[in-house]
Amino acid sequence: MLYSEIADVFDRLEGTGSRLEMTSILSDLFRTLEPSSLRNIVYLSQGKLHPNFHGAELGMADKLVLRSVAFVSGVPESRIDELWKKEGDPGKIAESLIKNRKQASLFSEPLTLEKVLKNLTLIENAEGKDSQDKKMKYLSNLLMDSGPVEARYLCRIVTGRMRIGAGSMTILDALAEAFGTKADRPDIERAFNITCDLGFVAETLALGGVDAVKDIKVAVGSPIKVMLAERLPSIPLILDRMEGRCAMEFKYDGIRVQAHIGKDSVKLYSRRLEDMTSNFPDIAAELRRQCRADEAIIEGECVAVDPDGNMLPFQNVTHRRKKHGMDKAVEDYPVKIFMFDILMAGGEDMTVRPFEERRSVLERTFDLSEMVKLTTMEIINTPKEGEDFFGRALGKKCEGIMAKSLSEGSVYRAGSRGFLWIKYKKDYEEALTDSFDLVVVGAFYGRGKRAGKYGALLMAVFDEETGEYCTVCKLGTGFDDAFLDSMPDMLDEYISEERPRMVDADMIPDVWFLPTVVLEVVAAEISLSPIHTAAKGIVKEDAGLGLRFPRFTGRVREDKGPEECTTVNEALSMFEMQSQNKES
Ligand code: AMP
């Protein structure tokens, strides 16, 4: 297959703002592809060669890509650097320079998908002292044979920023349209939620249809999208919602880990389903030792502890996220894992079982130890019991409690946030709102003391239904000098010349960013705002939801991707919670 056919489809996707149209462009393409090519093209459309959880990254830096572009186009690097400062997107620069290239190489031949995949794999595997040179060579080799549009997407694939706006939900829509009907969409989405591998789901569909997809099972090594909790403002309201009776667990403040325990090896995934095994080698080994089953998938919270085993605040466990010096961090920052769920045991899918059954299988499957613990859990029947339990959780330095439904239908709902789990934190008692995890979509240049730097950021929540990022506040408080200085390093690689199509904003910042970086923000109140676009028109015509007095907490949520940030629906439920709080 010619790579230009795929690049043309990417170009058409980029040119439309309509999700329906994107779905139809993609489904037309999907129907015509061999199953294995389909799998690869699904990954490429996300700027990857593999599913997200696969450790290897193409990850070429912009500067390196631009050196290839300079080499292939014959334009001096200094000129390209100037263009980059203005444009920010190496893909566009490559496109325009290749368009103006005087003549193509005499030996140039049409690029095939196979050749592109081969060279991308070489780029991914390049190692050693001269790895940068090798990467540049393999990319240049592809660019030599590229037309302008092909070059644009090659440069974007290797940097991992496709800018075509086709997220995983659009791909799932297109797969349903290509290989089934609308009614099959939930089965296809479930397969994605329990494997996190869009390419694999696509290939399975193309090979065996919807029936084959329904047969996909949870398995060690395929991370499962995590289940998430709703929130309510008081314990009586939680009990009401849970029909008078629920399980309550301490809510530990650490890092969520999904452990895939195989016969001889263990893999740990973060909440974003990145491989974190090397950050917690001690936990991985201890889980294998303490697990009675050959295979199991469990979830738990990894929490830092002091030498006496007392829990320490979240910041301590983040030392384990460092890239280097892990041996020392393992020694200096001991951790425990508090297990709260089991998703597979001895090859059997537990996600379809109710909570109580899962909990008892979890208890039976592990021998506990100093490092491997279960969350403290109790069955709660009255508000008084709930308040006491909450008090004990705070006494143990926990964030609050997690209430869990005991109903027949209390399955593990991979990838969804619902009222089967409800969180209740100390902050809800004191403040009107919970903290928010917001995505940076823009920046405003600073003035006065902040001149020459970014002075404030435009922040957004995620609308799961439309796939858009809608603004909720301009954030300028809570930044210390070190953070202000670090902003360009953290953000500039995501600069977008225009408003990214997935950003819905009325406020215009000085600089736009592709939604990528997530920051934790607290605010005094959620109010109705005519200038922000989150939930616009839902509570009041012509007004969206905005945050009053937003402040950065200092916590960059590296563990969250943009799609895992606070959603429009969550902001709406917090707005309602705040109204109820005010009334009471
Ligand atoms: P939040 O990050 O505020 O949405 O709260 C949900 C997170 O709480 C989960 O993703 C877990 O990392 C964490 N957590 C702590 N304790 C528990 C527990 N007992 N059950 C489930 N999640 C927990």
Measure the CA–CA gap between 284 and 273, rounded to whole angstroms. Answer: 15
In this structure, what is the dihedral angle of CA atoms 47, 50, 56, 58, given to the nearest 10 degrees? Answer: -30
Q: What are the Cα distances from residue 298, in Å, to 71, 159, 338, 350?
A: 50, 33, 10, 10
For residue 432, give the nearest of 344, 367, 360, 525 by alpha carbon.
Answer: 525
Residue nearest to atom 14 of ligand 1 (CA): 251
Distance 307 CA to ligand 1 centre (A): 24
Q: Walk along the chain (584 residues) and give the pLDDT tens digit of each residue.
A: 999 999 999 999 999 878 899 999 999 999 999 999 999 999 999 999 999 888 778 879 889 999 999 999 999 999 998 888 777 789 999 999 998 876 655 567 899 999 999 999 999 999 888 999 999 999 999 999 999 999 999 999 999 888 888 888 899 999 999 999 999 999 999 999 999 999 999 999 999 999 999 999 999 999 999 999 998 888 999 999 999 999 999 999 999 999 999 999 999 999 888 899 999 999 999 999 999 999 999 999 999 998 887 888 887 887 887 666 778 888 888 999 999 999 999 999 999 999 999 999 999 999 999 999 999 999 999 999 999 999 999 999 898 999 999 999 999 999 988 999 999 987 766 555 678 999 999 999 999 889 889 999 999 999 987 788 999 999 999 999 999 999 999 999 888 888 888 899 999 999 999 999 999 999 988 999 999 999 999 888 889 999 999 999 999 998 888 988 999 999 998 888 787 766 66
DSSP letters of 143-163?
Answer: HHT--HHHHHHHHHHHHT---
Output phi, psi for 466, to 5 deg: -100, -10
Phi-psi region of 70 (alpha: psi -120 to 50; beta: other; left: phi over 0): alpha
Measure the CA–CA gap between 131 and 169, rounded to whole angstroms. Answer: 35
Residue 450 Cβ inside 6 Å of ligand 1? The answer reads no
Residues near 495 by beta carbon (within 8 Å), at least 6 away in sequence: 88, 511, 512, 513, 514
Burial of 312 (C-beta count, 10 Å sphere; 0-12/13-18/19+):
middle
**H or E stretch covering 179:** helix 168-179
Measure the CA–CA gap between 140 and 545, rounded to whole angstroms. Answer: 47
**pLDDT attached to residue 102:** 61
Residue 249 Cβ inside 6 Å of ligand 1? The answer reads yes
Contact 91, 155 (CB under 8 A): yes
Measure the CA–CA gap between 477 and 474, rounded to whole angstroms. Answer: 9
Question: Which atom of ligand 1 lies nearest, measured to the CA of 254?
Answer: 12
Contact 198, 223 (CB under 8 A): no
| Half-sphere exposure for 213 (CA within 13 Å, toward CB) | 28
49-52: long-range pairs with CB below 8 Å, 24+: 49/117, 49/120, 49/121, 49/124, 50/199, 51/195, 51/196, 51/197, 51/198, 51/199, 51/200, 52/196, 52/272, 52/273, 52/274
Measure the CA–CA gap between 233 and 334, rounded to whole angstroms. Answer: 34
Residue nearest to atom 18 of ligand 1 (CA): 251
State how far Cα 133 lies from the chain centre.
Answer: 31
Instruction: Set out the domains of the chain in order of their start, with CATH numbers.
Output: 47-159 (1.10.3260.10), 228-429 (3.30.470.30), 436-583 (2.40.50.140)
User: What is the residue whose two structure tokens read 């996190």?
Assistant: 196
| CA atoms 356, 229, 516, 450: torsion sign | negative
Residue nearest to atom 12 of ligand 1 (CA): 256
State how far Cα 329 lies from the chain centre.
Answer: 25
**pLDDT attached to residue 430:** 58
Distance 199 CA to ligand 1 centre (A): 29
Contact 532, 545 (CB under 8 A): yes
Question: Which atom of ligand 1 lies nearest, measured to the CA of 404?
Answer: 20
For residue 514, give the nearest of 530, 500, 524 by alpha carbon.
Answer: 500
Residue 252 Cβ inside 6 Å of ligand 1? The answer reads yes
Distance 541 CA to ligand 1 centre (A): 35
Output phi, psi for 57, to 5 deg: -130, 145
Residue 271 Cβ inside 6 Å of ligand 1? The answer reads yes
Measure the CA–CA gap between 342 and 358, rounded to whole angstroms. Answer: 6
Measure the CA–CA gap between 66 and 84, rounded to whole angstroms. Answer: 8
Q: What are the Cα distances from residue 519, in Å, to 31, 158, 243, 445?
A: 40, 26, 36, 19
Burial of 105 (C-beta count, 10 Å sphere; 0-12/13-18/19+):
exposed
Question: Which atom of ligand 1 lies nearest, measured to the CA of 250?
Answer: 19
∠ CA 49-19-547, nearest 5°, is 95
Burial of 325 (C-beta count, 10 Å sphere; 0-12/13-18/19+):
exposed
Q: Which amino acid is at 399?
A: E
**pLDDT attached to residue 215:** 95
**pLDDT attached to residue 107:** 64
Measure the CA–CA gap between 471 and 568, rounded to whole angstroms. Answer: 10
**H or E stretch covering 521:** strand 518-522
251, 373, 425, 474: the catalytic one is 251
Contact 355, 402 (CB under 8 A): no
- Residue 485: count other Cβ atoms within 10 Å of its Cβ: 11
Reported residue count of the chain is 584
Residue 340 Cβ inside 6 Å of ligand 1? The answer reads yes
Q: H-type helices in 353-382, by residue range?
A: 355-365
Residues near 417 by beta carbon (within 8 Å), at least 6 away in sequence: 227, 228, 229, 230, 567, 569, 570
For residue 241, give the nearest of 380, 391, 433 by alpha carbon.
Answer: 380
**pLDDT attached to residue 516:** 93
Distance 227 CA to ligand 1 centre (A): 9
Residue 358 Cβ inside 6 Å of ligand 1? The answer reads no
**pLDDT attached to residue 333:** 86
Pairing of strands 296-304, 348-349: unpaired
Distance 252 CA to ligand 1 centre (A): 7
At 513, list the tokens. 């960013």
Q: Which residues of 274-308 are buried (b: 16+ CB within 10 A; e: fewer)?
A: bebbebbebbbebbbebbebebbbbbbbbbbbeee
Query: Is 251 assigned a catalytic role?
Result: yes
Residues near 52 by beta carbon (within 8 Å), at least 6 away in sequence: 46, 196, 272, 273, 274
**H or E stretch covering 261:** strand 255-261
Distance 251 CA to ligand 1 centre (A): 6
∠ CA 559-229-292, nearest 5°, is 75
At 208, list the tokens. 């065996």
**pLDDT attached to residue 343:** 98
Candidate of 301, 311, 518 to mutate for ligand 1, largest count of ligand atoms within 8 Å of Cβ: 301
For residue 544, give the nearest of 556, 528, 522, 560 by alpha carbon.
Answer: 528
Residue 256 Cβ inside 6 Å of ligand 1? The answer reads yes
